[in-house]
Amino acid sequence: MNENKNQVIDENLYNKLEVHKCICCYDAPCSKLYKNINPERIIRAIKFDNIKGARSLIRNEEKCFEKDSTCNQKCPLNVNIDKIIKDLINETDKIENIEDIDVSTEICGVKLENPFMLSSSIVGSTYEMCKRALEFGWAGVVTKTICMMPIYESSPRFSAVKDWDGTFLGFKNIEQLSEHSVEENMNMIKMLKEEFPTKVIIASIMGRDEKEWEYLTKEVTKAGADLIELNFSCPNMKHKGTGSDVGQNPDLVEHYTRIVRENTNIPILAKMTPNITDMREPAIAAKKGGANGIAAINTIKSITNIDTDSFVPEPQVNGKSALGGYSGQAVKPIALRFIAEMVNCNELDGICYSGMGGIYTWKDAVEFMLLGCTNVQVTTAIMEYGYRIIEDLLLGLKIFMREKNFKKVSDFVGKSKANVINNDELEKDTVEFPKFNYEKCIGCGRCFISCRDGGHNAIKFNEDRKPTIDGSKCVGCQLCRLVCPQSAIGILPNRIKINKGQ
Ligand SMILES: Cc1cc2nc3c(=O)[nH]c(=O)nc-3n(C[C@H](O)[C@H](O)[C@H](O)COP(=O)(O)O)c2cc1C
């Protein structure tokens, strides 16, 4: 791989900001301008952490792009599309032969053509929506949770913590369950199974009592669902003893799982709530009750923004709000933490994991799989960008597998599992010191400020606006590397032994 060339867009701040400016229009005006090249598709690949995929979308003959280009004028935000694409065209290394890579996997023994499914939510709530998603390439759908209680939703029902460009860092919803009747949902499952026999349809259900759990189990089994997901985790329920109330109570989890087990022979996933200290307890209870797999995580109870004029949190429903479920990018680290704890728990051996929470890119998905999930589910990223994100999930995954020489998904599932250990077991006798790359450094001084005010005051910022390290003060925390906007701080090749207590 050509290091320097790959850094043009990965690490060049100007290009990064230009790519960030792209808002991924629907039917983007820029996509119509050229016969062989689709700038929208290429820039979207870069945005979704798939720079190599973006490069693979440009073929040799498309170098003609350099001669004639009116893209920039068509872009509503005047993104410098020309420059982004030309930089990519100049990078010659391409990923070849990725079409044949086998990305199939499984969920509780049921084959999935790839690891990517819609998670239970609005994104899989009607036949038309599921059909469109499956046609786009998603391997399966978990239905919006089917229930027998009346569902009346509030308006508005979402709020988002946004980045400066408007993208969602985190997303809050105060939505409940499927507003469609059991009958409508059963028709949807039957039609989807008929039309897409090789795709996986998972029925998400929630009962208010034993009778409802039993009834819903029998109905979805009859309708032809491949698996059942038990929603023990919705944080927005009105009825006591439902949703996350159940997920916080291992006895109830075991009880309801057992009722479902006794009434179906298809695999069962228990969906866990993160609104709990230790997810292993309800997960073990679900296993005892007969669950084959764990789905995690559902949303995290939250308040996002409080309006400082009206003093009402968002979303504001006639002057009031409620706690709601937080999802999207912000929750991924919390989801990964819960998965890591469960996969390393002996009592949960043999359980299949379906991971979710903040998956936007192929890399996010691979992180869940490296911990031990055989498949993943997505909602918030689809709500923000649409089903089309499957293109970069698949392309990025294939490139990752080609580069690492993984022949099948199971070759890397669980590879990071043993690398999560207790803090007190980590080696603390040596230090990894930072090293400045002055060719890349733009002299902004961000490393200096952070080290002075939030580190160990180990960086000097000289008159020529170049930072230097004071080795006697540096503890190797590497805050400087994290704040550097240019990725201009690397590390010294060897860890240095330190004398403790001196
Ligand atoms: C608007 C919305 C509605 C949801 N509805 C359900 C639901 O009906 N049943 C369920 O089990 N989870 C539901 N979820 C939770 C998601 O399935 C998923 O667990 C969570 O959002 C984390 O994944 P994400 O970050 O990809 O969105 C909902 C999430 C959102 C954002």
Q: Which of 234, 352, 447, 451 is catalytic?
A: 234
For position 501, what pLDDT does the model report?
Answer: 55
- Is it the case that residue 118 has pLDDT exceeding 60? yes
Q: Is 234 a catalytic residue?
A: yes
Domains and CATH numbers, the chain: 3-89 (no CATH), 105-157+176-304+325-419 (3.20.20.70), 427-497 (3.30.70.20)
Residue 3: pLDDT band (50, 70, 90) is very low
**Poorest-confidence range of 155-159, 205-209, 238-242, 297-301?**
238-242
For position 12, what pLDDT does the model report?
Answer: 63
Residue 270: pLDDT band (50, 70, 90) is very high
Is the Cβ atom of 170 under 6 angstroms away from ligand 1? no
Residues 6+ apart with CB under 8 A from 272: 232, 233, 247, 279, 282, 283, 286, 294, 295, 296, 297, 298, 338
- Is it the case that residue 306 has pLDDT exceeding 70? yes
Tens digit of each residue's pLDDT (9 = 90 or more) over 22-57: 999 999 988 887 777 888 999 999 999 998 898 888
Is the Cβ atom of 356 under 6 angstroms away from ligand 1? yes
**How close is the Cα of 176 to the center of ligand 1, in Å?**
10
Residues 6+ apart with CB under 8 A from 425: none
* Environment class of 431 (CB within 10 Å of its CB; exposed 0-12, middle 13-18, buried 19+): middle
Q: For a pocket test of ligand 1, which of 120, 122, 155, 176 has the largest count of ligand atoms closer than 8 A to its C-beta?
A: 120
Is the Cβ atom of 361 under 6 angstroms away from ligand 1? no
Tens digit of each residue's pLDDT (9 = 90 or more) over 228-252: 999 997 776 666 777 777 888 999 9
The residue type at 5: K
**Poorest-confidence range of 70-79, 92-101, 443-452, 485-494?**
92-101
Tens digit of each residue's pLDDT (9 = 90 or more) over 272-302: 999 999 999 999 999 999 999 999 999 999 9
Q: What atom in ligand 1 is closest to the CA of residue 173?
A: 1
Is the Cβ atom of 122 under 6 angstroms away from ligand 1? yes
d(CA 219, CA 224): 9
Rounded to two decimals, what is the model's pTM?
0.94
Main-chain dihedrals φ then ψ at residue 200, nearest 5 degrees: -105, 125
Is the Cβ atom of 332 under 6 angstroms away from ligand 1? no
- Is it the case that residue 343 has pLDDT exceeding 50? yes
What is the percent of the chain where pLDDT is above 70?
A: 92
For position 144, what pLDDT does the model report?
Answer: 96
For position 40, what pLDDT does the model report?
Answer: 92
